[in-house]
Amino acid sequence: MRSCETCRQVNPDDARFCQQCGTALSPSQTTPPVWDEAQLWRKFIGPNADRYLETFKKFSGASGPRFAFTWNWPAFLFEPFLWFLYRKMYLYALVYAVGPVAAFYFTQDLSADLVWRIMAGASANYIYYWHIKEQLAKLKTLPNLDASNRDRVLSDSGGVQPYVVWVGVGLFALKVALLIAILREGPPSPSGTAPPRTQPGPTRTKV
């Protein structure tokens, strides 16, 4: 919005003359946008904003942001990479998609998945907190950002990915199907062990 220096009337950004007194408006008479921090955080988070904002208060210290232990049940109970993907943190989604698989490949230990889930549950809120701070800081540096463009940028970078819910349902159904198949076939034989062979008994010669 552009404010008139003569009568202080607020005019649209594209106005060349004041709508009240007719004074010509110079390009320097553009009023900088006013940022409501709480509203920006709420719009960026989207679903469950109140719960996350309450959790984020634990990260505020006298000397600045600091880590505090919190627990994120969705990131722990479901596939962690799906939660990060749902919240549009694509880099962390990639890390948590590859990390558990690589850990199991090298260790051959099923508990590796549990370790990664615990890591996600304990750190997801703090990671999300910093992700929002960084994204909103970038948003405020964008030039000529009016309310409509701001909401569009918030919608693109924040909020959630609804389709991820259906991806999670599909993966869960696949896991159930694999479990049923394993139960039907029975446990596999140890690698490299041949199935027992029936040894023929001694041949008796009839006299």
Q: What is the 3-state secondary structure (H, E, C) of 88-105?
A: CCHHHHHHHHHHHHHHHH
Q: Which residue has the tokens 């062979």?
A: 197
pLDDT at 200 over 50: yes
Rounded CA-CA distance 9/24 in Å is 12
Q: Which pTM was predicted? A: 0.69
Radius of gyration of the chain (CA): 30
Highest averaged pLDDT of the listed ranges 31-35, 93-97, 161-165, 203-207:
93-97
Q: For residue 133, what are the contacts with CB-CB under 8 A and spacing of at least 6?
A: 65
Strands in the chain per DSSP E: 2-3, 10-11, 60-61, 64-65
pLDDT of 135-194, one tens digit each? 999 888 887 677 778 888 888 899 999 888 788 778 767 766 765 775 677 545 555 555
